Structure 1
Amino acid sequence: MKPLLLLHGALGAQNQFEPLLSLLPEQVPVYSFNLAGHGGAPFSEAPFQMETFVTQLLQWLEEKNLPPMNVFGYSMGGYVALEAARQQPRWFHQIFTLASKFAWSPEAAQHETAKLQPEVVQEKVPQFAEALRQRHAPQDWQELMRRTAAMMQQLGAQPLLTPETLAQITVPVRIAVGDHDPMVTIEETVQAYRQLPNAQLQIIPATKHPLEQLHWPLLAQALTHFFAYA
């Protein structure tokens, strides 16, 4: 029985997975943790960038010293898991990603970061701002959003996962995307899937990007099917 690690996305936190836990087989050991600056975890002294999160994941795996793990990575969490598996595949059994964006370019980064303006979010969507404040306290959610925007701009200029690096990932992977996701297109997901040498593709119906709007039983079924828990 392989342990399962849940990795949250940008501006997310490990407690977002709570609705999923009761839907997974009881015998499966489930782990999760907050990436630096998220969910109340302190910001790292290292630069706030994707490479730092990859390093954090690999350090966590080494410290736990568990057998090769199954990983579910949502959005940025999936991106982090794939790059970590490319660097050190020995820690990974299988990886399931959902809503991970692969088509990064300066234009794509500009489009996404236009939505990450804390002052505008506070004024226009105060309920979301309050949810972020509660999710990331005692850290400053506005600072987290600014750093996330800068990270996306860097990713747009120099993506970690390219056709060349995706082709180096030998761990079995299932790449999933919601059919109504406005941030991650089916087309870019299919292109990434085709570059991976040992991959499956899943398009989840009636699904947008926000994790909170996910149909949890459907996700649990997909995870259980892919990871083949007895």
Structure 2
Amino acid sequence: MLAFTHKTGHYLSVDGAEIYYELLGDPEGKPLVLLHGGLGCITDLNVILEGIPSGYRVIGIDLRGHGKSTLGDKELNYSQYQRDVEAVLNHLELHSFSMFGFSDGGIVSYRLAAVGNLKVERLITLGSQWRLKINDPSIEFLGGVTSDDWKEMFPESVAYYNDVNPQPDFELLVEKVKNVWIDTSIAGYPNETVSDIRCPVLVMRGDDDFLFSLDEAVELVEQIENTKFMNIAYAEHEAHKESSGICCSIISQTLSCAN
């Protein structure tokens, strides 16, 4: 399968923003939607493409403000991300599909599967919280990170964003995304609505992921009827990059079960 490149995609106008997406794989295949994490973009998911079996049509979507998608002037939250993704899928006339979401992408995927108007056939998430409790140990990081912190931790990622985004403003994006991360309103995390998810779900996390604890993952799995859980040893939050072989293998096995 080819890779996401930010050179072959399309734009869709949604609620004052231009949402960018790319299509890979079999044009007539089973649709699979890939959603990246916060402050990332679709190219971050190139490492998992080898785990996708043949016969899939892959749709990669840059979240609002990320990658080549513009930010617009709407309030940024998981609900808005959900509406943006649903708009792209409706535009493509895809009313049922499978999903893989990393971190924020998985949170959006939970919302789509639980309360969305489209049918999620199968869901795989990695490092994706489902709620934010007031004593969650991740809050200090989520609310305290700055654009300078991110530039120091991920200089290549920030440089890439500045290169491909048509209206780059990384400092503004970080502030907007931080508000998404700490938003406990109904427009934020799916919370107990995850119990309404009816499709098969695979929940994955790195064993050393400080953003998505083992206890929270276990409670999530207990909320959803048809769920498998994989805890990946020696991996942190970005387990798909740190243990790509393991992740690709289980993704391939999970998606092959859907054929």
TM-score normalised over the length of structure 2: 0.78
- Take 1:200 and 1:60, find their aligned partners in 2: how far apart are those partners? 28
Aligned to 1:81: 109
Is 1:160 paired with 2:189?
yes
- Structure 1 window deviating more from structure 2 (208-217 vs 70-79): it is 208-217
Distance apart, 1:20 and its partner CA: 2.3
Q: CA deviation at 1:147?
A: 0.8
Offset at residue 115 of structure 1 (A): 4.2
Kept in 2: contact 1:70–1:94 (CA 8 A)? yes
- Alignment-derived partner of residue 214 in structure 1: 242
Correspondence 1:111 to 2:140:
yes
What is the rounded CA distance, in whole Å, between the counterparts of 1:51 and 1:90 in structure 2? 14
The partner residue of 1:151 within 164, 171, 180 is 180
Q: Map of 1:75-224 to 2, 5 A cutoff?
A: 75-88=103-116, 90-108=118-136, 110-122=139-151, 125=152, 128-137=154-163, 138=165, 139-155=168-184, 159-163=188-192, 165-210=193-238, 213-224=241-252
* Gap regions ≥5 residues in structure 2: 1-28
Deviation at 1:106, TM superposition (A): 3.9
Could you tell me which amino acid in structure 2 is paired with residue 132 of structure 1? V
CA displacement 1:41-66 (0-9 Å, x = unmatched): 10033211111001111111111113
| C-alpha distance 130-227 of structure 1, shift in aligned 2 (>3 A) | closer
**Post-superposition CA distance 1:122-145 (Å, at most 9, x none):** 5xx2x6245313235432222111
1:224 deviates by 1.2
The answer to whether the aligner puts 1:64 opposite 2:92 as a matched pair is yes
Deviation per residue, 1:75-107 (Å, 9 max, x gap): 110110111111236431100001002340344
Distance across 2 between alignment mates of 1:141 and 1:135? 8
Aligned residues between the structures: 226
Displacement over 4 Å in runs of 4+: 156-159
- Deviation by residue 1:1-58 (Cα, 9 ceiling, x = unmatched): 5222111011110011122224433332212010110013100332111110011111
Larger relative contact order (CA 8 Å, sep ≥ 6): 1
Deviation by residue 1:151-197 (Cα, 9 ceiling, x = unmatched) = 1222379753223x111111211111111112111110010110012
SS of structure 1 residue aligned to 2:66: coil
CA distance in 2, matches of 1:69, 1:48: 25
- Tell me which residue corresponds to 1:27: 55
Distance in 2 (CA, whole Å) between partners of 1:67 and 1:54 is: 14
Which stretch of structure 1 is more off in the superposition, 37-46 or 209-218? 209-218
Are the equivalent residues in 2 in contact too, given 1:113–1:153 (CA < 8 A)? Answer: yes
Q: CA RMSD in A?
A: 2.4
In proportion to residue count, which structure has more helix?
Answer: 1
- Residue 101 of structure 1 aligns to a residue whose secondary structure is coil
Which letter does structure 2 place at the counterpart of 1:54?
Q
Distance of 1:140 and 1:212 partners within structure 2: 27
CA positional deviation for 1:110: 3.6
Query: 2:64 aligns to what SS in structure 1?
Result: coil
Cα gap change, 1:223 to 1:140, in 2 (>3 Å): same
CA distance in 2, matches of 1:4, 1:96: 10
Structure 1 length normalisation: TM-score? Answer: 0.87
